[in-house]
Amino acid sequence: MTDKNDDIDFSMVLASSVHDMKNSVGMLLASLEGVIEETPPTSPAQAHRFSTLHYEASRINSELIQLLTIYRMQNDFLPVRIDEHFVFDVIEDQVARNHILLETKGINLDIECDDTLSWYFDQDLIGSVLHNVIVNCARYTKSAILVTAMIEDEMLAMTVEDNGPGYPDAMLRRPAGQINDSLVNEGQTHLGLFFADKIASFHKQSNRCGYIQLNNESKLGGGCFKLVIP
C-alpha cells in the first residue's frame, strides 16, 4: 500500500538536480578557466582542445540554466526584475564572461553601442540570452562576432552577428521560438531560441511586447540574431 505522502514530485526533483548540476558545471568551468590562464596553450592543437572543453562546458551550463528558468516560468515563480541599466555594461559583462572561449578559439568580438545608452529590462535574463547566443556563435563563426545595440522605432534592438555559414533555411522559415516535436525527436530542441523568445516576451510596454528574429543578413556575412524589447 502506497502512502500518498510518499509520492515524489518528479519535476521538482529534476529541477533540484538540474540546479546542483548547474552549480557543479559552473565550478568546473571556473577551474578550467583558471588552468587555461595559468598554463596558456603552447600549440594550435592544445588551443583547440582547450576551446572545445570550454565550449562544451559553457554549452552544458547554459542549457541547465535554461531548463531551470523554463521550469520556474511554468511554475510561476520566475522573478522578473525590470530596472534601468547601461546596455554597453550588460554586453561587456557577457563578453568578459566568455573571453577565455573567444581567446582560445581566436575569435575577434567587437561591440557597437553608445556607452551612454540605457534601457529598462531584467539584466540577468537578458544577459543569459546574450551569453547563450555568443556561445552559439563561437561554435559556428569563422573568426568574428559583432554585438550591436541601438534604438529602433522606440524599442531597444540588440543583435549578435557572425561570419559563419548562417542559419539553416528550415530555422529561418520556422517561428523563432517554436519547438517542433519532430526536431525534438531528432535531438534538435532549439531550446535556446525558445528560452530567448520567452525572455523577450516578458518585456512589455503598453501594447508592445519583446520578440526575437533570425536572418542571414549579417554585416559580417553570416547569421544574425536580433532581440527587440520595448
Per-residue pLDDT of the chain (230 residues; tens, 9 = 90+): 445 556 777 777 888 888 888 889 888 888 988 888 888 888 888 888 888 888 888 888 888 888 888 888 888 778 889 999 999 999 999 999 898 889 888 999 999 999 999 999 999 999 999 999 999 999 899 999 999 999 999 999 999 999 999 998 888 887 766 666 555 555 555 778 888 998 999 999 988 999 999 999 999 999 999 999 99
Q: CA 222: distance to chain centroid?
A: 18
68 contacts: CB under 8 Å, gap ≥ 6: 15, 18, 19, 22
CA atoms of 58 and 53, how far apart (whole Å):
9
pTM over the 0.85 mark: no
* Cell, residue 106: 581566436
Q: Which residues pair with 160 in a beta bridge?
A: 147, 225
Cα distances from 184 to residues 173, 179, 190, 226, in angstroms, run 17, 7, 8, 24
